[in-house]
Amino acid sequence: MYYLRLLFIATLAPFFLNGQTLHTVRPNDADPESSAPNNFHLAYISEITPHKNKLFLFFPGTGGVPFLYREILKHAANLGYHSIGLTYPNDEAINQICLTSTDTTCHSRARLEIFDGIDRHSEVNVDEYNCIERRVLKLLEFLDDESPNENWGQFISEGEILWEHIIVSGHSQGGGHAGIISKIKKVERVVMFAAMDWMPILNRNADWITWIGETEESNYYGLAHEEDEMVNFSTLLTTWQNYGMANFGSKVLVDTTTTPFNNSLQLYTQLTPANDPSKFHGAMVADSYTPIENGQPILRTVWTYMLEGNDEVLSTEGIKFKTVKAYPNPVSSKLSLDCLGCDEAEFEVRNTQGKLLNTGNVSNKEIDFSELPKGMYILSLSKNNHPKYVIKVLKE
């Protein structure tokens, strides 16, 4: 009842909370041609943190609404992202629709119809006026018209969404939508919570998980609970492997590891869910079940890592790695570094399996990659026993 009262009293006017602006927008107000579902979109932006000019776009799980995921939306805004929780057609679970199917395209046809509204699946009924793509576009246009000083329009151009500036994210079914969007659109990053498409009869993933997509494998991040009551952890690890995430390190238990979590893309927790100790499926990100300590989500450092990746700063004392710029990336010969304290910093270059290939001290703010074959490498910098700054470098 408390949730319903909030929905009734909310208006289109922005709320100002703790240095953030919150916009609550009904889909029908952003786009009069849309229909159900009409629960509020949520859009947060910080009034304090410098903006990154990137959008964090979050899709709730089956039957969920953005209101149930406010903590991660606020956290993204606190980091400087424009942050949106999207209401979209999610009443039916796609894994349930395809539960007994032996057609490996069942999941992808359903998800793509929900994304763009083109009829592909007999058990999905989403048209062009209610699909994810149009709802995102119309919401961004609406926000830009209502609050032009907040620059929501930077994520669209001539009626098209600029996906390359967007981090797509979601929980459960929503994480699957983030995943398939990243296959057909080049996005900034993919952040998934307890998300997979599995075919029990065939004992395999749906076809789209293994598509060669538009987004690089190194930009996928997943977080799961080992005891998830709805998503089998073993099959989820297979899903992550099929995404290519295992190429960048083994799974890491975030409860006993500090950021940057061994630079892994495969993260899991064993934390006891808040409020109901049996709700492991929502413990990573849903407000009702994610554990809170001192008024803050315990997993917020994990969320930060998933959004920021290996570019997250770990140390500023003695060497200001926070301002590191490494270019060109991709690199063909010498990688140039621009930061206070880079000279004489210690460096290590490893392959994605963790094998040490080169080490030494930075000279003239350059590191030579010319002798390495083409591929992805992990570069780490350190100085005076401070924590490392880590970045992925592509050799072309």
Going from the first residue of the chain to its last (396 residues), give the mean pLDDT of each consecutive group of 10, the final group possibly shorter. 38 66 98 97 94 97 98 96 98 95 98 98 96 98 97 97 98 98 97 97 96 91 98 97 91 94 95 97 98 95 90 38 73 86 81 84 90 88 65 84
Is 41 found in the same domain as 98? yes
Q: Domain boundary residue among 284, 311, 338? A: 311
Q: Domain boundary residue among 283, 311, 339? A: 311
Q: Domain boundary residue among 311, 329, 350? A: 311
Is 255 found in the same domain as 131? yes
Is 329 found in the same domain as 272? no
Q: In this predicted structure, what is the pLDDT of residue 322?
A: 46
Is 325 found in the same domain as 275? no
Question: Residue 160 sits in a domain of what CATH number?
Answer: 3.40.50.1820
Is 39 found in the same domain as 137? yes
Is 81 found in the same domain as 207? yes
Q: What is the pTM of this model?
A: 0.78
d(CA 89, CA 115): 10
Question: Residue 332 sits in a domain of what CATH number?
Answer: 2.60.40.3080
Is 371 found in the same domain as 236? no
Is 358 found in the same domain as 262? no
Is 334 found in the same domain as 231? no
Is 290 found in the same domain as 378? no
Is 324 found in the same domain as 305? no
Q: 342: which 2 tokens?
A: 């880079």
Q: In this predicted structure, what is the pLDDT of residue 351?
A: 86
Residue span of the structural domain in which 237 resides: 2-311
